[in-house]
């Protein structure tokens, strides 16, 4: 059972425009959500996170939105830059889960010049 | 060191061989995790250490998989009698006590079993 789902395997966005990556989850016990970015042949790099007590967290060009009632979160990148081209993973964790992360399948983002 | 390091970066093993994968976490990080990432998928949890104690090994796929962290720093993931389905990237991550949930990943070891 896939507890964290990223339903779009790929996304293509023009440079300078907004990129929106989506993630859905099924486990109501999740209380912390993270986004990771991964380049080929490298490990995932932590990008931004959000606690379940918030509905928005912003860090520079990156904003994560959490809709608990819909069990949905999204990552907004504004403006998109060529260096943002990578695979993005959504991950979730919960206090009783001993910090282990449950990942989605990833979305490959391509920023076109 | 500056980040999590893993060795070897690439490993080719013949079916039935034993392999050992090493992880050096960020200095001072008490928590250490191992994940397995199959091609085209997200990482999947294998096991978790807090210092030298293995607190969760629920994700280890079989008893052929064994992990240790004897002194609370470097960790080794050992796979005995490798099978083709073990082919994957094995990722190690560490986190500090204060950054409870953010985990910092190494580059991974790509294991190919032929």
A1 pLDDT more than 90 = no
| pLDDT given at position B101 | 73
Could you identify the residue written with the tokens 């990432």? B37
Instruction: For residue B46, count CB atoms less than 10 angstroms from its CB and return exposed for 0-12, middle for 13-18, buried for 19 or more.
Output: buried
Q: What is the mean pLDDT of each run of 10 residues along chain B (114 residues)?
A: 91 98 95 95 95 94 97 96 97 81 93 98
Q: What's the rounded Cα separation, in Å, for the pair A72 and A70?
A: 5
Dihedral over Cα of B36, A72, A107, A41: its sign: negative
| pLDDT given at position B100 | 62
Nearest Cα to Cα of residue B40 among A89, A91, A13, A48: A89
Three-class SS of residue B32? strand
A40 pLDDT more than 60 = yes
Residues of A in contact with B42 (CB under 8 A): 4, 6, 89, 91, 103-106
| pLDDT given at position B99 | 54
Q: CB–CB of B40 and A105 under 8 A?
A: yes
Chain B: give the shortest CA distance to residue A79, in Å.
Answer: 25
Cβ of A101 under 8 Å from any chain B Cβ?
yes
Chain B: give the shortest CA distance to residue A104, in Å.
Answer: 6
Residues A95-111 have a mean pLDDT of 89
The values of phi and psi at residue A107, to 5°, are: -130, 125
């Amino acid at each position: 059972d896939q507890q964290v789902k990223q339903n779009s395997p790929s996304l293509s966005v023009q440079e300078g425009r907004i990129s929106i990556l989506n993630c859905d989850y099924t486990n109501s016990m999740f209380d912390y959500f993270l986004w990771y970015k991964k380049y080929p042949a490298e490990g995932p790099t932590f990008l931004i996170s959000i606690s379940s007590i918030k509905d928005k967290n912003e860090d520079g060009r990156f904003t994560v939105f959490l809709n608990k009632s819909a069990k949905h979160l999204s990552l907004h990148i504004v403006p998109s830059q060529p260096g943002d081209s990578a695979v993005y993973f959504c991950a979730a964790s919960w206090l009783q889960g001993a910090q282990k992360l449950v990942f989605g399948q990833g979305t490959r983002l391509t920023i076109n010049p | 060191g500056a980040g999590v390091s893993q060795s070897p970066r690439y490993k080719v093993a013949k079916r039935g061989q034993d392999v050992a994968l090493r992880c050096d976490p960020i200095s001072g990080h008490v928590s250490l995790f191992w994940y397995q990432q199959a091609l085209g998928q997200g990482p999947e949890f294998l096991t978790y250490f807090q210092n030298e104690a293995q607190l969760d090994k629920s994700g280890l796929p079989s008893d052929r998989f064994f992990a240790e962290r004897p002194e609370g720093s470097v960790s080794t993931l050992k796979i005995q009698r490798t099978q083709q389905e073990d082919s994957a990237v094995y990722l190690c991550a560490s986190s500090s006590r204060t950054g409870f949930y953010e985990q910092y990943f190494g580059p991974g070891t790509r294991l190919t079993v032929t």
